[in-house]
Chain A
Amino acid sequence: MIEVQNLEKKYNGHRAVDRISLSIARGSCFGLLGPNGAGKTTTVEMMENIIPQDSGVILYKGGERDRTFNQEIGIQFQHTELLAFLTVEETLKTFAAFYHKHLPVEEVLAMCMLDNIRKNMNHKISGGQRQRLLLGLALLNDPELLFLDEPSTGLDPQARKHIWEIILDINKKGKTIILTTHYMEEAESLCDTIAIMDKGRIIEQGSPESLIEKHCKADGSPKNLESVFLKLTGKNLRE
């Protein structure tokens, strides 16, 4: 579905993304993990066409990304605000108008459990409701490729569970998902492939099961993704 080759990005001489290559198959749920400052968001934003790469190639469906790319993708950013004085419903309707084809707004409202706050202004909704609205915006055009940058950060367990159900449901429909997260449990539950980044490079890649099998076998550490993550990226604080 999407492939990157030797992708590189520098900020003030610092190499935030260091010649990484990835290939994400259609219909997969790909998790990009890494400590703060590892280069996850920069990598994903280059793939989303939000920021340009310094070098390297990004191929979508085997070719260069063209004007249809933005019609076919959905993005949920980690940090973003919305127009404060629009209601939830108006926000969805406004964004729906940007696409040639889109899901009915009613369906998105129901899917993201936004029905009861549809008339609330954006500046009056809670953090969890905002996160659900942002996910709704990403799903509006029924995207073939969905980018989710830490989709459940700041949510309570119930809301997180609900977001996971939506993501799994979308993935079951054959949509491709690229997900960054700090929650190992989230990656383990949702992703079929995981890449772990550190210092701008991909240091390990595989299915959650294969990574656990490979890294937690010998030393008796708990058999979960968190152990793999800590083993590969170390226990020192970042940033």
Chain B
Amino acid sequence: MWALFKARNYEFFRDRAGFGWNILFPFLIVAGFGVIFSSDSGSDYKLGVFPVKENKMVLQDLHLPDKLKIYKHIKIVPFKTRDEALDKLSHHKIDILLENAGPELKYWVNDSNPKGYILEKVVKESIIPEESFAAKVIRQEIKGDQIRYIDWLFPGILGMNIMFSALFGVGYVIVRYRRIGVLKRLKATPVTAFEYLTAQLVSRVLIMLLSSSVVWFGCNFLFSFRMHGSYLDILVVFFSGILCLVSLGLVLACRGTNEELTNGIINFISWPMMFLSEVWFSIEGASDFVKHAAKILPLTHFLSAARKIINDGATLSDVSSEVTILLLMSFVFLFIGSVLFSWTK
């Protein structure tokens, strides 16, 4: 088993393209998001204005309510002609379109754009004087550390990288080994399926813990993430999550010699996980069915536990339910994978 473990590690570290990509990919994603969210290009709402004749728009010269010119998270996009602007509106490139003419506020919206609906309310509100409702509303701000999107996103990116690395690095690779006869060659030796699968599992779990640590500290150096929990607790969560996803990879790899089919199955499993397990965005507002469906996915529990520790400072006992589910899932996946495993079929 030790020999197989060593051999698998050599394979991983010497395949420089694959190894480099495993480390580089999450760096690039986090770096990309860091750039996007540190500049104003991340404005959530885009308000188009026409006609604006000058090449360089002067905000104060526009015939718009003053409030609209100072709102945060609204980017004003100028257009020379109405046709050009309407085309952008119909293609969701802007969320609302205002005419830059006179005291009357004339605007266009795209009914299929939810942001346009909200922005329409904002545009209407902008012509109401602040004093008319100021006494009726009470504004309060939350205190203490606020979680930046990049802090929330970071565990998701790591989890996504681990998921792809586990499913493709184990599932796809073993199917390829079966097709090209590597497994058949091993079957001709005294090595048992249990020894082979255990070596694969242990090698992959350790490699992914190591590569995730490298990505973690690299990204932390660049973006100064806020870690509110204990490093030991997050290590346990990552171990459980990686173990579970690698075990799922072993289930996918237990049979078959068709790499295209395996590729399709892995995509079929990984894409729903990517969206439903809240890698990129929360599904808080989704239907109960979607939320329940997300709970059968291991990545959901992994990311939930990781975010609770990283973002909220939870302890291991606070995430014990997630860790237990991950370990139980690992056990079930390992059992299925080893029972169904075939060297040659």
A residues adjacent to B (C-beta < 8 A): 48, 50-51, 67, 70-71, 73, 75, 77, 79-86, 90, 93-95, 97-100, 121, 137
B7 within 8 A of A: yes
**Contact indicator B11/A95 (Cβ below 8 Å):** no
Contact A77:B190 (CB < 8 A) given known A85-B10, A86-B11, A97-B3 = no
4 shortest A-B CB distances, which residue pairs? A97-B3, A80-B181, A85-B14, A81-B180
Q: Is the interface of A mostly helix, strand, loop or mixed?
A: loop
Name the contact of B6 in the complex, choosing from A48, A81, A94 (C-beta under 8 A).
A94
Closest CB in chain B relative to A207 CB, distance in Å: 29
Instruction: List chain B residues, Cβ under 8 A from A84.
Output: 11, 15
Closest CB in chain B relative to A48 CB, distance in Å: 6
Closest CB in chain A relative to B201 CB, distance in Å: 17
CA distance A112 to B2 in the complex (A): 26
Closest CB in chain B relative to A46 CB, distance in Å: 12
Contact A85:B184 (CB < 8 A) given known A51-B344, A97-B2, A98-B189 = no
Contact A94:B188 (CB < 8 A) given known A50-B344, A80-B182, A85-B15 = no
Name the contact of B181 in the complex, choosing from A67, A81, A94, A121 (C-beta under 8 A).
A81
B185 within 8 A of A: yes
- Some 27 contacts from A to B, beta carbons below 8 A apart, are A50-B184, A50-B187, A50-B188, A67-B190, A71-B190, A73-B188, A77-B185, A79-B181, A80-B180, A81-B185, A83-B7, A84-B11, A85-B11, A85-B15, A86-B7, A86-B10, A90-B7, A90-B10, A93-B3, A94-B4, A94-B7, A95-B3, A95-B189, A97-B2, A97-B3, A98-B189, A100-B190
B191 within 8 A of A: yes
Instruction: List chain A residues, Cβ under 8 A from B188.
Output: 48, 50, 70, 73, 75, 77
Other A-B contacts than A75-B185, A86-B11, 15 sampled, CB-CB below 8 A, are: A50-B343, A75-B188, A77-B185, A79-B181, A80-B182, A81-B182, A83-B7, A84-B11, A90-B10, A93-B3, A94-B4, A94-B6, A98-B189, A98-B190, A100-B190
**Contact indicator A137/B185 (Cβ below 8 Å):** yes
**Contact indicator B184/A77 (Cβ below 8 Å):** yes
Q: Is the interface of B mostly helix, strand, loop or mixed?
A: helix
Instruction: List chain B residues, Cβ under 8 A from A121.
Output: 14
Q: Which of B3, B184, B188, B191 has the most CB of A within 10 A?
A: B188
Instruction: List chain B residues, Cβ under 8 A from A50.
Output: 184, 187-188, 343-344
Interface residues of B in 317-345 (CB under 8 A from A): 343-344
Interface residues of B in 1-51 (CB under 8 A from A): 2-4, 6-7, 10-11, 14-15
Q: Which of A50, A51, A77, A85 has the most CB of B within 10 A?
A: A85
Instruction: List chain B residues, Cβ under 8 A from A97.
Output: 2-3
Contact A98:B181 (CB < 8 A) given known A50-B187, A70-B188, A71-B190 = no
Closest CB in chain B relative to A31 CB, distance in Å: 20
Instruction: List chain B residues, Cβ under 8 A from A70.
Output: 188-190
CA distance A181 to B15 in the complex (A): 35
CA distance A101 to B2 in the complex (A): 16
Closest CB in chain A relative to B18 CB, distance in Å: 10
A72's nearest neighbour on chain B, judged by CB, is: B190
Name the contact of B182 in the complex, choosing from A73, A82, A98 (C-beta under 8 A).
A82
Contact with A along B160-190 (1 / 0, CB 8 A): 0000000000000000000011101101111
Instruction: List chain A residues, Cβ under 8 A from B7.
Output: 83, 86, 90, 94
Instruction: List chain A residues, Cβ under 8 A from B182.
Output: 80-83
Instruction: List chain A residues, Cβ under 8 A from B184.
Output: 50, 77, 80
Instruction: List chain B residues, Cβ under 8 A from A81.
Output: 180-182, 185
Closest CB in chain A relative to B187 CB, distance in Å: 6
CA distance A99 to B190 in the complex (A): 7
